A = this chain, B = another copy of it.
Amino acid sequence: MLQESSVDSSGSRFAPLVVLELASDTKEEAIAWLLSRIRDRQQNGGAELLVEQLGPGIGLEEKENPNMFLVGASMQRLLCGAEDLGLFKECTDGSMRAFTFASKHNFKDFKGDGDGFLSMAECQYVIKHELDTLRAKEETNVPGYSHAKLYPGKSIIRRLLSKGILIQMFPLHENEELKRLSFSWYKKVKVSLQPLDDIRHYYGEGQALYFGFLEYFTFALMPMALIGVPYYLFDWEDYDKYVVFAVFNLIWCTVILELWKRRSASLAYYWGTLCRKKAFEEPRPGFHGVLGHNPVTGRAEPIYPTSKRHLRVYLVSLPFVLLCLYLSLYIMMIYFQMEGWALSIYDENPTFWTHILLFIPSIIYAVVIEAMNLIYRYAAEFLTEWENHRLESSYQNHLVLKVLVFNFFNCFASLFYIAFVMQDMELLRQSLATLLITSQILNQFMEAFLPYWLQRRRNKKMIRKIQKRRLYEEKELPLVEQVRLEADMSTYLGTFDDYLELFLLFGYVSLFSCVFPLAAVLVVLNNITEVYSDAFKMCRVFKRPFADPAANIGVWQLAFEAMSVIAVVTNCALIGMSPQVRSYFPESETQLILCTVAAEHVLLGFKFILTFLIQDVPKHIQDKLARLEFESLEALKKKRQLHGGKCWKPRSSVRLSSEEDRCACRY
Q: Residues of A at under 8 Å CB distance from B?
A: 41-43, 48, 76-77, 79-80, 83-84, 100-102, 104, 277, 279-280, 295-297, 569, 589-590, 593-594, 597, 601, 623, 626-627, 629-630, 633, 636-637, 640-642, 644-648, 650-653, 655, 662, 664, 666
Contacts and interface: CB of A to CB of B under 8 A. Distances in A.
A653 B48 CA distance: 26
B296 A650 contact: no
A42 B280 contact: no
A650 B590 contact: no
Contacts of A104: 648
24 contacts: A41-B644, A42-B641, A42-B645, A43-B641, A48-B645, A76-B648, A79-B647, A80-B646, A80-B647, A84-B636, A84-B640, A100-B647, A102-B651, A279-B633, A280-B626, A280-B629, A296-B623, A296-B627, A297-B630, A589-B590, A593-B594, A593-B597, A597-B597, A662-B662
B589 A102 contact: no
B569 A601 contact: yes
Nearest to A665: B664
A78 to B, nearest CB: 11
Given A280-B626, A651-B655, 7 more contacts: A41-B644, A43-B644, A48-B645, A80-B640, A83-B647, A297-B630, A652-B653
B43 A627 contact: no
A645 B45 CA distance: 11
The 4 lowest CB-CB distance pairs between A and B, nearest first, are A80-B647, A42-B645, A101-B648, A664-B664
A646 B77 CA distance: 8
Q: Which of A48, A647, A652 has the most CB of B within 10 A?
A: A647
A114 to B, nearest CB: 10
Contact of A102 (B80, B593, B648): B648
Nearest to A133: B637
B653 A651 contact: yes
A280 to B, nearest CB: 5
A599 B104 CA distance: 60
Contacts of A43: 641-642, 644-645
A13 B149 CA distance: 68
A100 B589 CA distance: 70
Nearest to A590: B589
Scoring A101, A648, A650 by chain B CB atoms within 10 A of each residue's CB, the highest score goes to A648
